[in-house]
Structure 1
Amino acid sequence: MPFERPPGSPATVDPREAHAARAFAPRRVLALMLRHWYVMRGSIPRLLEMAYWPIMQMITWGFITSFLAEESSLVAQAAGIFIAAVLLWDVMFRSNLGLSLSFLEEMWARNLGHLFVSPLRPLELVGALMSMSLIRTLIGLVPATVLAWLFYAYNIYGLGLPLLAFFANMLVMGWVIGLLVSALVLRFGLGAESLPWILIFAFWPISGIYYPMDTLPVWLQAVGYAFPPSHVFEGMRQVMFDGTFNLMHFAAAVVLNGVLLVAATAFFLSVFRVARVKGLLLSIGE
């Protein structure tokens, strides 16, 4: 196909210039790479995300390996333990995503400013986000429990009433993380939108999901027991191994969740007030 002269250009075009315009240009590739590099360099969440997953996986599965190496008698029960742990962890994961994604959808649609032209109050927004989180969690979790029964003959509902206590505590902890994430995204913009998938996994190695808390170093046990998930998973294993419900772990999880939920809600409302004053509800970007 002959090279066509664009309107307004000189009557004659150097064929070498025309070929260069059509040819692959490494400098244009470099220019686009630099654009993404500048975006990435200016975003700490993006930089952290690159190293985050390999580190978390290495630490977590290292502890699992240490636990199974010392407790070979439990290998036969490992399938049931791990499936129950995965399902309970997914409660917290889905609860967090259910709240934070509901909030992010309003930001992606540039709808926050429109919402608060109405009489809607920030605390009512929090209540709506928590309610949607519960619905999203149930939609995601119930099919998973059915598949666990069909594929692995494991019935998590066999835990009985303790399951309700475990579910409620993991749900509330997910709300805590979701509110923190939503506040940070509101404050720092959509450049931090990957936080819902990142922040929650900071609790993965220290929660004793797949191994008892005494597998961790003593100082890390103290850190883990400062958050509700560690008490939930320790309580879950006690129900499965001994058939007893540990009221101390349950009480600790409830108290910690209450304190953290109040603190997270206060933090979200505080950031929201600042965002409203600075006009961030209408100027949301990277």
Structure 2
Amino acid sequence: MSAISLRRISALALRYLYLLRGSWIRVLELAYWPTVQMILWGFITQYLAGHSDVLNQAAGLLLSGVLLWDVLFRSQLGLSVVFFEELHSRNLGQLFISPLQPLELILALIFISLVRTLIGVGIAVALAIPFYGFNLFTLGPSLIGFFFNLLLMGWAIGLMVAALVLRYGMGAESIAWAAIFALAPLCGIYYPVATLPGWLQPLSWVLPASHVFEGMRAVLLEHTFRLDQLLYALLLNAGYLSLGIGLFLAAVHQARERGSLLQSGE
């Protein structure tokens, strides 16, 4: 075995630096995750510091937020990742040579996303009972509305991400992970929308998840079921899901015209 060469190490390190310098996406990702975490936990701290009356219920609020947020996260990834598997295996073109319709693919992706979400979140909900003595089902019948709306939003985002990847290639795959976390500080998962700066609140209210988590806090803190919040979320989800389906169908149509389906894994 030859001696370790500082020259070879430097050459490789320089190569990696050039790769980093030549891709603004890589540079952005370096700052992205710490920034999102800082913003999210900063608002959590600000909310809890200014509302000492809710500290005795903080555990229930945080656990409910985490578990419901995971419904949104898993439903989006459950759709996106399964679709990416078809791209990586270069199977998408072969699927569309068959009589399969794009809408049928969407429905199949939605079904497997639901299955994966139920398995993943179901296990976490069950384990929260012996570990922390917390039962998410204490939210009562409203839990069904929360769950359904978060699923719809996750599917809408997943279809939009899939459409972007079809249009711009696998280089856009990282959006599947980044997009959902970029929305987290705006959705009021662990704190009310009122905690956000005034200029961010209108942006928060156009997200269905914000209405879901406001409804969740109303149940836990005020023992009130906010039907209006669930209806707002449902209306917004109808629009976003329609947009997601439309973008996905348009991306498939363009990929067919460009003949890029068979090269989708490259």
Q: Same fold (TM over 0.5)?
A: yes
Assess, with a 3 A threshold, how the Cα gap between structure 1 residues 99 and 36 changes in structure 2: closer, same or farther. farther
Query: Post-superposition shift, 1:235?
Result: 0.2
Give the letter for the 1:89 counterpart: W
TM-score by structure 1 length? 0.88
Counterparts of 1:172 and 1:124, CA distance in 2: 17
Q: Greater helix share, 1 or 2? A: 2
The equivalent position to 2:7 in structure 1, one of 18, 26, 32, is 26
Q: Match of 1:185?
A: 165
Aligned to 1:102, the other structure's residue is in SS state helix
Contact 1:43 1:191 in 2 (8 A): no
Assess, with a 3 A threshold, how the Cα gap between structure 1 residues 44 and 284 changes in structure 2: closer, same or farther. farther
Counterparts of 1:249 and 1:194, CA distance in 2: 31
Q: Match of 2:244?
A: 264
Aligned to 2:97, the other structure's residue is in SS state coil
Matched, 1:133 2:120: no
Counterparts of 1:32 and 1:277, CA distance in 2: 42
Please identify the structure whose Cα radius of gyration is greater.
1
Gaps of 5+ in 2: none
TM-score by structure 2 length? 0.94
Counterparts of 2:24 and 2:168, CA distance in 1: 11
Assess, with a 3 A threshold, how the Cα gap between structure 1 residues 42 and 179 changes in structure 2: closer, same or farther. farther
Q: Match of 2:31?
A: 51
Q: Match of 1:12?
A: none
The equivalent position to 1:241 in structure 2, one of 194, 197, 221, is 221
Matched, 1:175 2:189: no
Contact 1:95 1:171 in 2 (8 A): yes
Q: Match of 1:110?
A: 90
Query: Post-superposition shift, 1:24?
Result: 2.8
Counterparts of 1:72 and 1:146, CA distance in 2: 29
Query: Post-superposition shift, 1:197?
Result: 1.1
Aligned to 1:219, the other structure's residue is in SS state coil
How many corresponding residue pairs?
266
Q: How far does the alpha carbon of each residue in 1:78-136 deviate from its partner, in whole angstroms, 9 at most, with x for none?
A: 00000000000000000011000010000111111111110111111111111110000
Gaps of 5+ in 1: 2-18
Task: Kindly report structure 1 stretches of 4+ aligned residues shifted beyond 6 Å.
Answer: none
Counterparts of 1:280 and 1:36, CA distance in 2: 32
